[in-house]
Structure 1
Amino acid sequence: MISFNYETDFILEDEAAFENWISRVIASESKELGEISYIFCDDEYLHKINVEYLNHDTLTDIISFDYSEGKILQGDIFISIERVRDNAKDFSVSFEEELKRVMIHGVLHYCGYKDKSEADEKRMRAKEDEKVLMFHVEH
């Protein structure tokens, strides 16, 4: 089950399309969907979580808490809509494309992909590209 929660004035258009896409991405990695909650918020909300739970006094676009067990993916994914908007401008991509990338980034972490080293980050980016393209492909 995938749920979408809103702590800011943003609303995801066509939740069903996103749910379908995320489910297909999870299946494409030979994993199973447990419960994943997306929480869309603003910088202040996410900064507070970053400080409180991770001891990081910085702004970020995403924080994911992974409760996965084996092949069953579960967790909470917090996304700052403000950060996604700013990053989209910085990277010269549409807000929608950057949002999809960030949304799937959290799921890829649950699948075991890391992004701390340069090699891991390169692999993560390639996986993000691959999975974002899947949004437009119906199966």
Structure 2
Amino acid sequence: MTINIEYEAEKKLELPYESIIEEVVTASLDYEECPYEAEVNVVLTDNEEIRRINREFRQIDNATDVLSFPMGDFETPSDFERMEEQSEDYFNPETGELLLGDIVISVDKVEEQAEKYGHSESRELAFLVAHSMLHLCGYDHMEEEERAVMEQKQEEILKAGGYTR
């Protein structure tokens, strides 16, 4: 598995962010029973940059906590078989890994939301990674039923890793 982590924010998180990200990415893929080695890119940035990205790609002029850019075009969440059928589009030809996509996280929001929700920054970072990984696996939360499914999966992934409130 390849997990590329880029830390672009000036503000430094005082926690083992690399190991948290790697642990939650791996746990999420195990939970979703991904049968392939995968590649995921994670960028840690600040509110200003995530706002710019949000404006550019979603036409929403606000800073958000996390953005997910899935490479796969899932008809059904975590239908990894479909990815293999179109392997030239979804697998890295050099490594053979499934290209899942990119995650962009605001370090500022990790700090703000941890304080707001009364839990640790480690738990908030883990939550944002788990949430985004489910998006990379084809889940969404636009409808109430989808939201409930995502929330349950997020909580189970976090609980298994010991990331509780």
Shift of 1:115: 0.9
Shift of 1:21: 3.9
Shift of 1:25: 2.2
* 2:51 is the alignment partner of 1:47: yes
Q: 2:117 aligns with which of 91, 96, 102?
A: 91
* 8 A contact 2:67–2:105 mirrored in 1: yes
Aligned-residue identity in percent = 28
* 8 A contact 2:72–2:138 mirrored in 1: no
Q: Secondary structure at the match of 1:114?
A: coil
RMSD, aligned α-carbons: 2.2
Find runs of 4+ consecutive structure 1 residues off by over 4 angstroms: none
- Of structures 1 and 2, the larger Rg is shown by 2
Structure 1, gaps ≥5 residues long? none
Q: 2:12 aligns with which of 10, 29, 33?
A: 10
Structure 2: how far apart are the matches of 1:93 and 1:44?
Answer: 24
Q: Secondary structure at the match of 1:52?
A: helix
Structure 2, gaps ≥5 residues long? 74-82, 85-97
Instruction: Give CA-to-partner distance per residue, 1:71-123, whole Å, 9 cap, x none.
Output: 73511100001112112222222211111000111111122221112222122
Structure 1 residues 128 and 53: CA distance shift in structure 2, 3 A: same
Aligned residues: 137
> Which one has more relative contact order, counting CA pairs under 8 Å at least 6 apart?
2
Instruction: Give CA-to-partner distance per residue, 1:32-81, whole Å, 9 cap, x none.
Output: 34210110000001000011121111221011111136273511100001
* 2:136 is the alignment partner of 1:132: no
Q: TM-score, normalised by structure 2?
A: 0.73
- Counterparts of 1:1-139 in structure 2 under 5 Å? 1-8=2-9, 9-10=11-12, 13=16, 15-16=18-19, 18-31=21-34, 32-68=36-72, 70=83, 72-136=98-162
